[in-house]
Structure 1
Amino acid sequence: MKGALFPPASMRRLLPEQKRRAAPWIVGLMTFVSLVVGIAGLAVLGAVSDLSSSAAGRWSLQVTGTPADAARAEALLSASPAVERIARVPEAELRRTLGAWLGPAADQLDLPMPVIAEVSLSAAGDGQMLAQDLARQVPAARLTPYSAELAPLLTTLRGLAVLVAGLLVVLAAALAGAVTLAARATLDANRATLDVLHGIGATDGQLLSLVQRRIALDVLAGSGAGALAAVIVLVAALIPARGLLGGWAGGPALAASGLALLALLPLVQAGLATLVARRALRQALANVI
């Protein structure tokens, strides 16, 4: 393996250097896009995990009836051993929220405000049974889990995560295709030199290692440059949004997973590209020599 990537210097000098090669730029761009897309996917998964854990055991009580109905519903829930806490949302806060949606018309309409309270259940509490019991005794009251209200959002976020994974697969396939074309272009550009070397006794393995080394160095240079550019852009973009990400998207988890991705993805891409180039070169050498 070492000989495949590091042929003797005497052989490396036989292959003239090309001043402008497209492979490092293509690999760098692919690496940059892959890292940015991967970090976005990790942020989405962090948001899904954070929202799911925060919604666990939390229910919403809504009473549209009379104040007596609200009092009965709260008394029934308070008497249940499954309920740990009931916190009613103040009416003034509800009206402020309504005003944010309707504007000045909210005060003019004088709309009746339902009673809304946040209910926290214990880990062993059966929320569905409690909701059914509440609906029988207080028909104007409704107890719904936060997870049901967040389900459309979580479904959308999970769909985005699947889309990100698909994009990474497409980018990997595009990188493999680009490296294959670059390997064949390098072989075509140096075909005369390779024919001479083959004529004086160089084996196919030696010629393969000679061309593969150049492709491997281009891939490593492009991956490193793309990773560095991605780190700079992501740091510049995430620092202003640190409060937002840390608030609901799992800031510490995102940072740890992001660092692992930044460290591993360029190396994985470089290894994959080198293997693809080796296979393409082996097939091309078998056809032209």
Structure 2
Amino acid sequence: MIKALLPSLAMRRLLPEQRRRAAPWIIGLMTFVSLVVGVAGAVALGAIGDLGRSAEGRWSLQVTGTPAQAAQAEALLRGSAEVTSVQPVPEAEVRTTLRRWLGPGADTLGLPLPTLGEVTLRPGANGEALAQRLEARVSSARLTPYSRELAPLLGTLESLATLVIGLLFVLAAALAAAVTLAARATLDANRQTLDVLHGIGATDDQLLSLVQRRIALDALVGSLAGATAAILVVVAALIPARGLLGGWGGAPSLSPIAWVLLALLPLLQAGLATLVARRALRQALTDSP
């Protein structure tokens, strides 16, 4: 196929250039949308991975009983072989969080505050068995895994990632349809020239290479322009919001594989457009009298 994109200079001169072509604009727009959507999906997948790793082995302790029961629960956890650390949450921090929800009047309501703590387990420890033992010894104590608390958020992010994948397939199908129309329009616009060339002995492959080269160049230019615009949007919108680079305010990071796929996306779009155009042009040449 590479050879088909490089017809001789003499053959290229036979096909007049068209200054106004819609294909680069269509392909550029599709590439721009695909790249922005792809970044959103990659960030969602990165967030899922980061949250899953941060919640691994971490459990939340809640004691709604007396301070003595809270101290008993903490002592039981510290003495357990499965536990590596127990960090109680200061009461002032709990009241500050409650004040955010209920306003300044939260301090005057006299609400009973539970004793909270963060428990870290050893890798491979049976947290469910530990939670059952703790509840049997201290009835007001509950040990809950962070993964259970984060399950609704992770489910939402997974749905978003699935939606992004579906959108990318839809955009690829739309790109294929648009390129097919553009290829046939290019063929129709140069029908007389192609008929003359065919009449003097040019083969279908030679005619195909002429039109396909033009579509391939349009696809490459459009993809690079769309990718450039998408990069500018990502830099302008996501990096200042600390929503792309890992380590900025705990934001999700993109894996090296995600960076490679995003970098290859414009080239994949151009390759898809070229393949679709080649098939459409060959079919049109075959169907023509």
Fold match, TM over 0.5?
A: yes
For structure 1, the 5+ residue unaligned runs are none
Aligned to 1:145: 145
Residue equivalent to 1:4: 4
Q: Which has the higher helix share?
A: 1
2:252 matched to which residue of 1?
250
Distance 1:220 1:42 in 2: 24
Residue in 2 that maps onto 1:33: 33
C-alpha distance after superposition, 1:34-90 (max 9, x if no partner): 111111111111100000000001001100011111111111111101111111111
Contact 1:46 1:249 in 2 (8 A): no
Please say if residues 43 and 249 of structure 1, whose CA atoms lie closer than 8 Å, have aligned partners that are also in contact.
no
Matching residue of 1:287: 287
Alignment partner, residue 171 of structure 2: 171
> How many angstroms does 1:229 deviate by?
1.1
Question: How far is 1:245 from its partner?
Answer: 4.7
Could you list the runs of 5+ residues in structure 2 that have no partner in the other structure?
none
The 3 A distance-change label for structure 1 pair 244 and 175 is: closer
C-alpha displacement of 1:258: 4.9
Provide the rounded CA distance (Å) in 1 between the counterparts of 2:124 and 2:50.
Answer: 21
User: Distance in 2 between the 1:168 and 1:155 partners?
Assistant: 20
Using the TM superposition, give the Cα deviation of residue 244 of structure 1 relative to its aligned residue in structure 2, in angstroms: 7.6
Amino acid at match of 2:23: A
Could you tell me which amino acid in structure 1 is paired with residue 278 of structure 2?
Answer: R
Give the Cα separation in 2 of the matches to 1:77 and 1:285.
77
Identity over aligned pairs, percent: 70
State the secondary structure of the residue aligned to 1:242. coil
- For residues 236 and 110 of structure 2, the distance between their equivalents in structure 1, rounded to whole angstroms, comes to 47
2:84 paired residue number: 84
CA distance in 1 between partners of 2:244 and 2:94 (Å): 24
TM value normalised by structure 1: 0.95
Between the aligned partners of 1:286 and 1:113, the Cα distance in structure 2 is: 79
Count of aligned pairs between the two proteins: 287
Native 8 Å contact 2:239 2:245 kept in 1: no
- Tell me if the contact between 2:86 and 2:118 (Cα under 8 Å) persists in the aligned partners: yes
Deviation of the 1:190 alpha carbon = 0.9
Match of 1:191 in 2: 191
